[in-house]
Chain A
Amino acid sequence: MKDVLILGGVKIQTRLFTGSGKYRDERIIGDVLDAAQCDVVTVALRRVDLEKKEESFVSSIPKNKQLMPNTSGARDAEEAVRIARLARAMGYGNWIKIEVIRDSRYLLPDNLETLRAAERLVKEGFEVFPYMNPDLDMGRRMVEAGAAAVMPLGAPIGSNGGLKTAEMIRIMIELVDAPIIVDAGIGKPSHAAAAMEMGADAVLLNTAIAASGDPVAMARAFSQAVSAGRTAYLAGMGLERQGAHASSPLTGFLGADE
């Protein structure tokens, strides 16, 4: 059976999503996407000069990619809604990653405002991808509101901290009835693999690729890690073992008919 992820009615082949910020030269983005065979790429509308759309970095993204504009810079639901509408009006499609951030120190998302934006944007026909602090009930509410997937963070944006919130994400994977895309904090391919081994449906990361010495090679490394993690998850991994196993069975004293 082919392992395909469907989001907002679109078949996604590669479970590594990436971004378009922090690059030393945006013209490299096309090569990065090729190397990682990414289908989905998120773009910050704040970086697009609305008057000079054609000159924007978005035009260096190959046309066959699924754009996921994000609402970076929004401080409340109202601003997020406005940015989403502008993104659609610019011709960037109807996917929107909702980022509502009111904390400049760690850039942690405000789940309540994010939910409010999600409720409104779903009603306006967007495929909504909320970026959120991993919280089971808020995740469920996002899905009840009609989110196409939820995007809990592994660690603060740009921190390369790995899966600091692993247990909360695991709980969401188990109980939230929608695809889970782990977003933010993934600093190494091994972090991405770990998220996929846990059963995440996809991961989104940017800094670790964009700010690395060789973004194209790093993108390839992440792609392989995501793929390995996914394969391992599907194969069903053995439980981690504490200490050695006794070679003779501990229940050997029981007879076969007992």
Chain B
Amino acid sequence: MNNISQIIPDWYADFSKIPIMDFETALRQKNFSPAALQSLLSPQAGEHLEEMARMAQLRKQQYFGNTVTLFTPLYLSNYCTNGCIYCAFKADNAIRRHQLTPEQIRTEGEEIGRTGMRHLLVLTGEAPSKTPFSYIKESLLLLSEQFSSLSIEMYPMSEIQYADLVAAVPVEGVTVYQETYNPRVYDRVHPYGEKRNYSWRLKTADRAARAGVRSITVGALLGLDDPLYELGALALHLDYLTKKYPQVSLLVSFPRLRPISGSGFSVPHSVSHRFFTQIVCAFRILFPHVGITMSTRESERIRNGLVPLGVTKMSAGVSTAVGSASENSDEQFEIADERSLQEVCSWLREHGYQPVMHDWNKKLTP
């Protein structure tokens, strides 16, 4: 099998050579091919969105049943040493910075635990100097007492570091977004910081998988590059991970970029609600085994609407600021769905979905 660092450049070089597949054929595919994905993302397919939605709903029900897994994110720190031009946390943004102390971590954890939530996603900005591995490991060990399952969304780590977290905490999931798979765009939107290393980031999922991480979430930000390129590359990454690490449970996410107030950054390839829905349907149809996770960056209306069509995992009860006393720090993005965990659960139950608050326990891992 080709290496991911070969697959992605080939994709950008050979994009024009993808064979054409008609919509009807693509809709009935049981597995991914670049041609099928491009067909389902095409404007012609967009005219059959309702048909796609019906197929997506069928696949979702078949593979995931009437369930949606919920998790709560906890931000440990918003310090960042990178200059990602699209992000409110970037180093040269004059925002209030804060990093939780062990005592605050314990309190925040207890507060989230009281909502009944048992899955926690722990996040930091990408500043290894401020949040070194030792701080991260200690913080996770503190939280590990209170939660059944911990996942992390932080700077890319080495295989040895992931293996350490798997053995010691244990960390069950790793989320890492490539942001954009297009190396030229990547270079442009990451002007400085450790994050400039495209290839190190691209191989993060490989390192996590080899280290024994059970669940890996990959994704791309929608808005930085032409979505047809971006999603094609993301799909190839998923396809590669499916084949190379069959034991890993895979999830995908496609956060839509929104303009940051006062930054002068405008989203170059913004994605409409309608096209976003088409994207979720296309991935649900061609990657029926891959979970789709969606944050509170999306509004209540969009999140609710996309649950039947393919979303399998949602955050709830979220603050993207560091610390519940939010006068301490600013938020990474504005929360568009402000419902509490209980409100999300009630909505799901009323609409025929079972909110899953417990899907793995660290005690099940030797």
Contacts and interface: CB of A to CB of B under 8 A. Distances in A.
Interface string B111-122: 000000010000
B247 A102 contact: yes
Interface in B2-28: none
Given A86-B363, A158-B62, A49 B358 contact: yes
B267 interface: no
Contacts of A65: none
A215 to B, nearest CB: 10
A50 B66 contact: no
A211 B62 contact: yes
B247 A211 contact: no
Contact of B364 (A86, A158, A210): A86
Main SS class of interface, B? loop
Interface string A35-58: 000000000011111110000000
B247 A158 contact: no
B262 interface: no
B246 interface: yes
Contacts of A46: 358-361, 364
Contacts of A123: none
A160 B59 CA distance: 11
Range, interface on chain B: 20 to 34
Interface string B57-83: 000011111110000000000000000
B242 A105 contact: yes
Interface in A89-108: 102-107
B250 interface: yes
A240 interface: no
Contacts of A107: 289
Given A46-B358, A79-B364, A211-B65, 7 more contacts: A22-B66, A23-B66, A45-B364, A47-B356, A48-B361, A49-B358, A86-B363
Q: 10 smallest A-B Cβ distances: which pairs? A: A22-B65, A24-B66, A102-B247, A24-B352, A49-B358, A103-B246, A75-B247, A211-B61, A78-B366, A211-B65
Interface of B: 61-67, 118, 148, 214, 242, 246-250, 289, 349, 352-354, 356-361, 363-366
